[in-house]
Structure 1
């Protein structure tokens, strides 16, 4: 990854280097130019500045961890675990925001976290409209994009299954910072998986509070699933344990990815917390091809001059070429989220 030294990035001083430090686990970065609250733009210079070198180091650190997981995903793909037909597919991933087909408030990211073997992937497959699978394969990282057309409006829901980030704290923290809502999953027959969910919830609250400069842990939109309710084995986690530790106001559902128990309620809660229509729940819309969806959106855009909104049954399509955005893109997403709630001092980095 190369950084364009002519591109100007405006980063909030109070907190951005703390975020870099938390991403890498390194000691606090200091710079003489940041010791004053009245910051002047850094002048043009033929050499890369110390701050730019720091940014390059951060990017290389996180990108290195990403490459390790990409290699694993590539090996899985080559072995036939994930095959996508290239017949009649778009030439590139569909981004409704970039194409001007969806409003920013209609673009949403859900981050899925939890211990291994608790059923995260199968719950996610249910949300995407796919079938339950008995075969377990460890997930390194999966990124999915589901495009909805509901009531004449387009919605884009990105889902990041960050299961493989347990051993990559920097990457996990970035995933948390980019998430709008969170789906945390544990198994009702595994107490350790529940303990991990409680730790993840605390981490999410702390990360969001730091990003938004809050004095107390942030209240975040989280749905928690106690999965494998269909098993006849003794429970390791009771409902009273959940309410005592996580509180009575948490959106908690006992679910079964196998038979679908509780999933409809969990998906509707995700929609409600994220400000999305109820029709984003799998049972409330039909799946169509990506090409049909594109034609529908383009046709709708052609009627913008009319006051009558498009009608029709709620529908959705999967983007078969969706890939997780780059580290730089995700970092910019985080910074935009921060500036929505604050008016930070700005540091001119080249």
Structure 2
């Protein structure tokens, strides 16, 4: 079975863990418990983040539709990924999370769509880990992108042939 290394990145509190837990376990954890990467200063995790980026095959860049600053942070994050990977051709999806909180929206859907277009037509989805909206699609889309970029070895289409004796 093929292994995929997917990396979920974004500012603290955007729902990275909630999306991942919802995808893997099918549950939503209501209480926010900052992961270690969210708890320490950015400088302390630069080397670890670079390692994630170097080894990752596909990247979900997540922001909260309820916090403009989380959207603004993504440009630098994307540039760091491209620098570490040393290519512009990286499987990536831009994710506007917490779309169930429409009344608290400060980042418009069009802003996300426009940024994705600027990023060489990067994939874009709005999601909600809480309401199970587009959670699976985020990860499935990344896997499809990876498969298009690097097909599974030995899975090349077999040529059909018919021999009559």
TM range (shorter): 0.7 to 0.9
> CA separation in 1, counterparts of 2:8 and 2:26?
17
Q: Give 4+ residue runs of structure 1 displaced > 4 Å after superposition.
A: 162-165
Would you say the 8 A contact 2:4–2:143 is kept in 1? no
Q: What's the offset of the Cα at 1:240?
A: 2.2
SS at 1:117 equivalent: coil
Q: What's the offset of the Cα at 1:132?
A: 0.2
1:242 maps to which residue? 112
> CA separation in 1, counterparts of 2:132 and 2:143?
17
1:191 maps to which residue? 68
RMSD: 2.2
> What does the per-residue CA deviation read over 1:202-248, in whole Å, with 9 as the maximum and x for residues that have no partner?
11112111xxxxxxx52210122101110133422112222333316
> CA separation in 1, counterparts of 2:133 and 2:116?
22
Q: What's the offset of the Cα at 1:257?
A: 0.6
Would you say the 8 A contact 2:94–2:112 is kept in 1? no
Would you say the 8 A contact 2:58–2:92 is kept in 1? yes
Partner of residue 265 from structure 1, selected from 133, 137, 155? 137
| Equivalent pairs, count | 145
Partner of residue 228 from structure 1, selected from 92, 98, 110? 98
> What does the per-residue CA deviation read over 1:239-284, in whole Å, with 9 as the maximum and x for residues that have no partner?
22223333162111100010111223222202211229xxxxxxxx
> CA separation in 2, counterparts of 1:222 and 1:166?
22
> What does the per-residue CA deviation read over 1:127-156, in whole Å, with 9 as the maximum and x for residues that have no partner?
212410111100015xxxxxxxxxxxxxxx
Alignment of 1:170-181 (within 5 A): 170-181=47-58
Would you say the 8 A contact 2:116–2:124 is kept in 1? no
> What does the per-residue CA deviation read over 1:156-206, in whole Å, with 9 as the maximum and x for residues that have no partner?
xxxxxx886833212211211111111111100111101112211111112
Alignment of 1:179-328 (within 5 A): 179-209=56-86, 217-247=87-117, 249-275=121-147
1:12 maps to which residue? none
Query: Taking structure 1 as reference, are residues 194 and 139 closer, same or farther at Cα in structure 2, changes over 3 Å only?
Result: same
> CA separation in 2, counterparts of 1:128 and 1:190?
26
SS at 2:5 equivalent: strand
Query: Taking structure 1 as reference, are residues 250 and 163 closer, same or farther at Cα in structure 2, changes over 3 Å only?
Result: farther
Alignment of 1:10-49 (within 5 A): none
SS at 1:113 equivalent: strand
> CA separation in 2, counterparts of 1:264 and 1:185?
14
* Structure 2 gap segments, 5+ residues each: 149-165
Query: Taking structure 1 as reference, are residues 123 and 165 closer, same or farther at Cα in structure 2, changes over 3 Å only?
Result: farther
* Structure 1 gap segments, 5+ residues each: 1-101, 142-161, 210-216, 277-350
1:81 maps to which residue? none
> CA separation in 1, counterparts of 2:57 and 2:13?
24
